[in-house]
Amino acid sequence: MTITRQDYAFPFRIDPASQQTAQVSYAAHVDQMVLQLLLTTPGERADLPQFGCGLRSLVFAPNNDALLAAVKLRVIQGLTQWLAGVVTVVDVALDTSGSTPGPGTFQVTVTYTLVETQANQTVTAVIG
């Protein structure tokens, strides 16, 4: 018998059908953890003030190679610090065209390998 690993869903909530804590697959849970890291600004969490990538502070930075390098560095450092042993970063891509997410925003796409299953996954976050 194979047991499929389940974890708590984010945001934490009660499933209306079962009246228990909502759960998602492990892969979806890791996607949610990566999104939390990308969208959190350091200092935003009282219990973990260093948690987050601080990408919102880069929204109005000039659109050049330095922005791409800064985003990649922050994302890789954040994932290495907070999700080491859970994910391995494969690639960080940045879309600053402004057309898809909207003006004054950029889109970060992180491709990573889930360590437990060795499956590649992709998460996209709009920062703005």
Question: In this predicted structure, what is the pLDDT of residue 7?
Answer: 83
Whether 2 shows a pLDDT value over 60: the answer reads no
Its pTM stands at: 0.84
Query: 102 falls in which pLDDT band (50, 70, 90)?
Result: low
Task: Please give the Cα distance from 98 to 6 (Å, whole number).
Answer: 36
* pLDDT at site 32: 93
Name the average pLDDT for the chain. Answer: 88
Enumerate the domain spans of the chain: 6-127
Beta partners for residue 122, in sequence order: 111
pLDDT digits (tens, 9 = 90+) for 42-83: 999 999 999 999 999 988 888 888 889 999 999 999 999 999
What's the Rg (C-alpha) of the chain?
16
Q: What is the mean pLDDT of residues 19-44?
A: 92
- State whether CATH 3.10.20.30 applies to domain 6-127: no
Q: How far apart are the first and last CA of the chain?
A: 45
Average pLDDT over residues 24-32: 91
* Residue 5: predicted pLDDT: 79
